[in-house]
Amino acid sequence: MLELQSIRALRQTTGAAILMSRSNIRLAVLSLVAALAVSTLTVARGQVLSSAGCSASDDARTLGWGTPAWCAEFDDYLDEDEWVVYDSPGHAGNGRRSPDQLFLGNGALYLYGRADGTTAGLASRHVQTYGRWETRVRLYPGAGSYHPVALLWPQEGGGNVRSSTGEEVDFLEVINDPQRQRPNFFLHTPQGQEQAHAEVDMTDWHTYAVENTSEGIVGYLDGREWFRSPNSTRSPMSVCLQLDWFPGQGGQGEAWMEVDWLRVYPLES
């Protein structure tokens, strides 16, 4: 059976933030997802790259993005110096973002949203104004009221409803889609909002990426362009992974978001 370790249940040992599981929390969660773990998670998990070698993905090599400046493999721990883990009211004050809803297991990061709106989110402390961001994600059928999101937000996290600069890049957002078949791209700048969508089965693994330059923004799905705009964000941006709760917008219930890896590329590449 898949073993998941709660991020809240981890403590830092001397010299390294090694994940230590708290068995009562892990077992409580496993009792909720045992059927899911046996039927799917242990069958077709994504390839997990060694954390010792932060190499470009196949899509990034095809696009000529060079070597990542920073990456996360989610193999064994989350370093507090590299991540801001949300512990706060949820999106627009709905529900709660709790470290208890983040898990590591099977070489991946899991964000779990409970039916009562207790969910998860985190942001990388690695910040850059221009560059490329890329993540490999798999979703599961779940409550339409939960929005899985991968986004860029000014500085450290997407905790507020609107950013202080009016800038936001959602290079993956799922809205009221319990079967997870319609990914959306949203660009928010002082010039207004722009968006695009695709039709793809997100219960399979897919790679979502965005390139932000002074000349504009391009969004990629599995290495293929699906969004382009001459507008771009001009502030230092942090990449965030969130499972946001929108009560009253779509069916209620639970939701899961699984992240295989995350990579950040400098524009100089």
- Strand-by-strand arrangement of the 118-119 sheet: 88-89, 96-97, 118-119
Tell me: the pLDDT tens digits for 179-188? 999 999 999 9
Give the number of other Cβ atoms within 10 Å of residue 100's Cβ.
20
Tell me: the pLDDT tens digits for 32-63? 443 443 333 332 223 333 334 689 999 999 99
DSSP assigned state of 78: -
* Weakest-pLDDT range from 20-29, 85-94, 233-242: 20-29
Q: What is the pTM of this model?
A: 0.83
**Whole-angstrom Cα distance, residue 198 to residue 49?**
27
Which is it for strands 118-119 and 96-97: parallel, antiparallel or unpaired?
parallel
Inter-CA distances, 66 with 20, 231, 252, 264, Å: 35, 24, 42, 11
Give the number of other Cβ atoms within 10 Å of residue 92's Cβ.
13
Tell me: the pLDDT tens digits for 200-246? 999 999 999 999 999 999 999 999 999 999 999 999 999 999 999 99
Two tokens, residue 223: 């290495």
pLDDT of residue 204: 98
Encoded amino acid at 135, one letter: T
**Whole-angstrom Cα distance, residue 120 to residue 98?**
5
Encoded amino acid at 156, one letter: E
The answer to whether 106 and 37 are in contact (CB under 8 A) is no
Dihedral (CA of 111, 91, 8, 124) sign: positive
Q: What is the average per-residue pLDDT within 99-122?
A: 96
Two tokens, residue 39: 């039927």
Would you say residue 21 has pLDDT above 50? no
Question: What integer best gives the mean pLDDT of the chain?
Answer: 83
- Among 13-27, 44-58, 69-83, 204-218, top mean pLDDT goes to 204-218
The answer to whether 23 and 31 are in contact (CB under 8 A) is no
Would you say residue 82 has pLDDT above 90? yes
**Whole-angstrom Cα distance, residue 266 to residue 268?**
5
Q: Where are the alpha helices (DSSP H) in the chain?
A: 23-36, 58-63
Tell me: the pLDDT tens digits for 131-176? 999 999 999 999 999 999 999 999 755 556 677 788 999 999 999 9
pLDDT of residue 156: 54
The answer to whether 6 and 102 are in contact (CB under 8 A) is yes
pLDDT of residue 166: 87
